[in-house]
Amino acid sequence: MKRIIFLTTVVALLFSCSKTDIDEPFSGIDLKAKKVGPEVFVVTPGGVDDTPALCQAFDDAKAAGPGSVVKLVEGEYHVGYMEVYDFFGSLKGAGKGRTIITVLPGMDIDALWAQGLVGCQIKFVGGDVYLSHFTIQTPPGPLSTGGPGTGYIYSLLNFSSFNAVYELGNESRSINVVIDNVSFKGQRMEAGGYEGYAGYNYNCAIAVRTGLDCFPRTYSGPGVPREKIDFKITNCDFDTFCYGVALEGMQDCMATIGKQNQGNTFNNIDQGGGLFDSRNMRLLVEGNTFNVPPGSYGWDVADYQYGMPFESKPETEVTICSIQNNVFNLVNSFYGMYFYNERQFLYGEKPIALQIKNNQFNMSEIPQYCLYSVATEGMVIRNNKFCGHGYRALHLVTYSSNGLVLGNNFTNAEMDNAVAYLSASTKDWTFVGGNLGEMVINYGTNNIFTGYNVNQSEAPFGQTIVDNLQATKEALLKLKMH
């Protein structure tokens, strides 16, 4: 499994602004019961550096109160480094491809590192933020100076509840984030940049990131608390980054990546994204299209600590992850999904409740794996469809146990090695149906296959499946009620 650790910095942002009043979704009632809309602060592109005007618009919107709108018109804005604190309102453009925010090169990484900050271009810290209907992109070439000297920035957008210079470690703080109809576009670099996993170099490593915005040396406690960041992103597209969406260091919150008929699209991305080193989470990944290039990766869920200075904190509730109704187009890719539940395996904590259902895996040029499981317990894989030519559909290894594989369709899949591979440390998996034929390699213990001619067992079918389904139903009920 890979890790995300890279840092960078930015310069200051500029934007011209005027103020007007128009009806927007936020509305209130005055003493005469007259309907009033939120205050709207319009920023027009200035042609060179729009950062100061945009910063002023956010300040004015904050002063006007919750629900205020910073509105961008059609045109191209040039924006440098920017921090927005405790903003309760919206940033709205005229539409994808009509309102374009282009990163201004010149982020000073050394200056940011001196404050203990990470090099993300536009940061929202605390508040309730709604972003919609614009394109944000990097220009060609290097975007930063100093630091490692490679010219890349860490992310276009970053969302956190605190950072190294503001309310550091304050667990009572939170941020709510909704992103809709935004296009994210990065650039590859011939030299320098962030070296991605597929061998390409990028001038921006991550499109959208949540979590820690401080270095270890800036925090004197035993570890930085994870943050409460409720996050939802729909109808967005991503092109040419190492990561599309990286959710890191979150706790006690909900993350939604797409909804049915409101999914996101990932193109030319080393890794579509993932949920990393978070606790007590509810994650829904639904309706998205992952176009996974050669040697690249789709979506991860991993709870191991990969080097960031988070406090050591066990799971107190079951993290619930439902990944459903997505399309994974795998072209000689490494995998579509990856799950690593280290905490339950090494420390006996509550396992992540994983339900993988109704996804479609389209394979070409022999991708390695559709689904890769490490140390999971009780995963449910059901009603997924596998098509095309690949190496292995299900790669279940390293003490993955007690899972259920039910009702999946492998009829149109041609696998060079196996439909399912279970290593010697796996145990107590139950497979039901799915037209697997003889294409299962099973080295595990007490793995039961029902409905085809593979590893027939006299063990009674039922109890493991009943237990898994009941646990999953309870977990999904909690997810719906959240």
Mean pLDDT calculated for residue range 169-194:
96
Q: Any residues with CB less than 8 A from the CB of 204 and at least 6 apart, and which?
A: 103, 121, 138, 143, 152, 153, 154, 155, 156, 186, 187, 194, 241
Q: Tell me the residue length of the chain.
A: 482
Residue 201 is assigned to a structural domain of this protein: yes
- pLDDT tens sequence across 216-253: 666 666 788 999 999 999 999 999 999 999 999 999 99
- pLDDT tens sequence across 313-331: 777 789 999 999 999 999 9
Residue 451 has what pLDDT? 62
Residue 437 has what pLDDT? 58
Residue 380 is assigned to a structural domain of this protein: no
The H or E element containing residue 301 is: strand 297-302
Residue 414 is assigned to a structural domain of this protein: no
**DSSP-based three-state secondary structure for 123:** strand
Residue 253 is assigned to a structural domain of this protein: yes
- pLDDT tens sequence across 277-323: 999 999 999 999 999 999 999 999 998 777 677 888 777 789 999 99
Residue 238 is assigned to a structural domain of this protein: yes
The H or E element containing residue 477 is: helix 463-481
- Residue with tokens 């820690």, as numbered in its chain: 212
CATH code (residue 264): 2.160.20.10
Instruction: Please state, rounded to an integer, the average pLDDT across all residues of the chain.
Output: 86
Q: Is residue 94 over pLDDT 50?
A: yes
Residue 439 has what pLDDT? 84
Residue 217 has what pLDDT? 61
CB 50 within 8 A of CB 77: yes
What token pair was written down for 316?
A: 């107190």
Residue 382 is assigned to a structural domain of this protein: no
**Residue 152, domain extent:** 16-313
Residue 16 has what pLDDT? 38
Residue 265 is assigned to a structural domain of this protein: yes
- Looking at the structure of the chain, the number of domains it has is 1
Q: Is residue 376 over pLDDT 50?
A: yes
Residue 280 is assigned to a structural domain of this protein: yes
* pTM score: 0.86
Mean pLDDT calculated for residue range 43-48:
95
CB 436 within 8 A of CB 452: yes
Q: Which of 211-215, 364-368, 475-479 has the lowest mean pLDDT?
A: 475-479
